[in-house]
Structure formats: C-alpha cells, structure tokens
Structure 1
Amino acid sequence: MMNVLALDIATKTGWKTKTASGVWDLTPNRGESSGMRLVRFKAKVIELAGLEDINLISYERPAGMHKSSIMVASEMVGILKELCVYLNIELACYSATQIKKFATGTGNANKEAMIKAAVELGFNPADDNEADAIHLYNLTISDLKI
C-alpha cells in the first residue's frame, strides 16, 4: 500500500497525508541564514515520512513569474530529491495547471477557487497552500490509482 505525502513546496509549504494536512511556515527567523528554510524543510519531511510511513512524495513542479520564489522552490526540490533517494521514497510531480484543472475543471483557477474546491470536499484549509496540497494528494491518488 502506498502512503502518500503531497507537498505544495514554498516558504509556506502546504502538505497532506492520508490522516492530516497543514502548512509549514519555513520562514527564516531574524538573524538566520536563508539556508535555515532548507534545514527546517528537510527535518519536517523526515519527521512526517517516519510518522506516516510515507513511500511516495508528490510535489508541485516549481514554476511562475517570480524568479526568487522559483529559486527557493527549486532548492527545496533538490533537497527533497536527495532525501527521497536516501530514504528510498518514490517521487511524483505535477504542474500547477494539472492540479488546478483536477480540482476545479480549469487550469488557471485562482487561490480562492482552489480553497473553495477544498472546502466543497469537506476540508477547512488554513490557506491556498494547504488547499493546493489537498488537491495534489487527491490528484496523485487518482492518477496513480492508489
């Protein structure tokens, strides 16, 4: 049986497993280097992977128009890939368009539409990051027929 962790990777990372969902705020504290975001991300993934016996991590492919956010997400994906090799966890990746189309029927849905679609499924996401992770989780389960 596959236990999936879905990640909407960013400084505020949305996550979803079979039993829970939420948002990790990985913002570096005052006086910390930006590398602390990566340290916290890695620690959170390791912790949750162990607690939930995760064997597949699904994430949203970094994209967008803001260079700095793409760079942050790309660094985090690099950490995730290395970690998954080390922990023998499989990876799956989807574009924002795929996730939005799965959730709402349109590939360019805005944040409010993604939150509304999660609420309609019975969830109460804290923000759009958690909503995206919820939809990514469901897309992964559907797509891979888990």
Structure 2
Amino acid sequence: MTVLALDLSTNTGWAAGDPAGTPRFGTHTLPSTGDDVGRYLAKHREWLTAFIQVERPQFVVYEAPILPAQTTKATAIKLMSLAGLTELICRDLEVRCFEAHLQSIKKFLAGSGRATKPDMIAAARRYGFDVRNDNEADAIGIWGHAVMHRFPGRCTLFSMGQLGAGGLPR
C-alpha cells in the first residue's frame, strides 16, 4: 500500500510510501509561466498523472490551499486550481483523495499549529529526514499526519510523537 502526500505549489513537496515504512520524498518544480495558468496546470497534470501511474498510491492527500494576504490574481488561481486538478486527476485514475489542513499538519509534525517553515524543517530532520526545503518538510508532515490517522496500527515511525523525534520543539 502506498500513500502519496503533496504540498502543492510551484515547488511541490511530495512524500510517498507504505504506512508501515519510511516514505521517500522530494520536490517537483513547475515552470514559471507568468499569467499563463493553462500551461502551468498542464505541466502539473502531466507530472502528477505520470507520478501516480508509477507510484500507484491507494490514497493521495494534499495540503489545503491557503492564499497569502498579498497575492496576484494568477497566483490565486494557480494555487486553488492545483488542488482542484489534483482531485480531478485522482478521480480519473480512481485513487482516493483527501485534503489536510495546515495547522493540523504543523501541530502533528512540529508540535504547534503556528510552527514556522524553519520549525517544520527542524522537526522533519529530528525524525531523521534529510529534507532540503520546507516543501519536503511539509510533505513529510502531511504524509505522517495522514498515515497516523488512517492507519494508526501500521505506522510506527511517528508513534512516539515529538519525544520519539528527539524532544519537543523549542
């Protein structure tokens, strides 16, 4: 069984793996397209469809989109559309798809719903993940949150919470 977690953005963080194991993770970067939303979404569709066909997850979970206070119309459309397109791709490929909320993910991984990007990176590293950026850290948090709630008996990686990761965050 594979769970795929996505931190959707231009730099999409992903984590994929069996709930009983340790997920693989990385970052997929979409091209800069300016106001060309169609090209941007076409590239996401191309990547995610191929990724799902290779990984064959039973579940896809993604972070619910949150719009920055100051953003352009194109950015707002892109962020919301990534979530909708992800749902559509999963429907077309017959994969169950769910969204997770940012504060729940932050609280799960870093111990606080107000954790910053550096806090999330530090928390992922305490669990032993050599993440390169906050997108990968968020994807690890999304994956861990999803598997602990959907497969609590199978996932041992996060079973001791922050204490198992080397202590509580500052």
Specify if TM > 0.5.
Answer: yes
Match of 2:60 among 46, 52, 57: 57
Match of 1:117 among 107, 123, 130: 123
Match of 1:40? 43
Cα contact 2:33–2:40 (8 A) shared by 1: no
Cα contact 1:11–1:27 (8 A) shared by 2: yes
Identical counterparts, % of pairs: 29
Q: Deviations over 1:93-112 (max 9, x none)?
A: 11110000001111010000
TM-score by length of 1: 0.90
For structure 1, the residue ranges without an aligned partner over 5 or more in a row are none
Match of 2:77 among 63, 71, 81: 71
State how 1:1-146 maps to structure 2 within 5 Å.
1=1, 3-18=2-17, 19-28=23-32, 33-64=36-67, 65-68=69-72, 69-145=75-151
* C-alpha separation in 2, matches of 1:46 and 1:62: 20
How far off is 1:54 after superposition?
A: 1.2
Q: Deviations over 1:10-42 (max 9, x none)?
A: 111100101521111103358x93322211111
Cα contact 1:118–1:135 (8 A) shared by 2: yes
Cα contact 1:28–1:36 (8 A) shared by 2: no
Runs of 4+ in 1 over 6 A off after TM superposition: none
Cα contact 1:62–1:70 (8 A) shared by 2: no
RMSD: 1.8
Cα contact 2:30–2:44 (8 A) shared by 1: yes
Q: Deviations over 1:31-58 (max 9, x none)?
A: x933222111111211111111112100
TM-score by length of 2: 0.78
For structure 2, the residue ranges without an aligned partner over 5 or more in a row are 18-22, 155-170
- Select the structure of larger CA radius of gyration: 2
